Amino acid sequence: MKQVPVISSRAELLLTSGGTTTDAMKERLLAMGRIAGNTSKINVLRLADGWQPFDEFSQVGLSAQVEHQAESLAARLWSRRYLRWCLGKRATISTETIGSKSPAETRRALSSADLLLIPGGNTYQTIRYLGRCSALIQEAIADGLPYVGESAGSIIAGKTVKPASLEPADTCPDPALLGVPGLNLIEADVVVHARGEQSDWDIKDPLARVTKMVLESVASDSATYQPDEAGTVVYALTETQALSVSHGKAQLI
């Protein structure tokens, strides 16, 4: 697998579709926690900004609002379930929305964490809020704070959030968000919930290839994902695959 540039060689990332759903992912998460934590308990900071409701300026219909709330509840329950399975009583998990906090509050929250987790939820809401403090998140990861992404959290770790256009549950509250950059923790785009066997692709024509591995219930002719430029690296992860990035190297587990 080709090397993927990351912000810092100290950064360690685990990008998944549905959380740590396999034993291999669980072992990697535990190892990340042991590396990060100097105490008996790991302090996990979960940034649930993607669970934020749409505001009055979003012009999102009632059905989309109801669907978003249902998806947010499901994401919350699932995230809690797999973290309990992985970490049990070995971790203290705090769930916060920091996109509207001051820079000083954001720095304090990040500095107190041993592990940063961004769960599933609405990808556009996630980047809408966290984009305001993306530089602080990038700084913390560059300083060695491990990062775990689950679904939306994996998409926004990439170069852009364009792969979210493949996800039927991702209602976009603002068309301007469709092509915004991600946190750019890796120089690649991340497609989640993919179907198929081949996911370690360096795709020269991503649209033609990714639409053959479209998400659940999405027809290939409805996919709107487009790469930024020819040769963009795209990682398509199934439910049982994760992308582990450490010391500038990417590996599927």
- For residue 70, the domain's CATH number is 3.40.50.880
Give the whole-angstrom CA distance, residue 94 versus residue 109: 10
- The per-residue pLDDT for range 149-208, each reduced to its tens digit, is 999 999 999 988 988 877 767 888 887 887 789 999 988 888 888 765 444 444 444 444
User: At CA 244, angle to CA 204 and CA 82, rounded to 5?
Assistant: 120
- In this prediction, residue 215 carries a pLDDT of 37
Residue with tokens 């020269």: 204
Is 48 inside any structural domain?
Answer: yes
Spans in the chain with pLDDT lower than 50: 1-5, 7-9, 197-223
Is 4 inside any structural domain?
Answer: no
Number of domains into which the chain is organized = 1
Is 93 inside any structural domain?
Answer: yes
Give the whole-angstrom CA distance, residue 175 versus residue 124: 10
Is 62 inside any structural domain?
Answer: yes
Cβ neighbours around 40 below 10 Å, total: 7
- pTM metric for this prediction: 0.83
DSSP for residue 160 = B
Residue 123 exposed, middle or buried by CB count within 10 Å (0-12, 13-18, 19+): buried
Is 2 inside any structural domain?
Answer: no
Is 78 inside any structural domain?
Answer: yes
Is 5 inside any structural domain?
Answer: no
179: containing domain: 12-252
- The per-residue pLDDT for range 139-166, each reduced to its tens digit, is 999 888 999 999 999 999 998 898 887 7
Is 3 inside any structural domain?
Answer: no
Chain Cα centroid distance, residue 95: 15
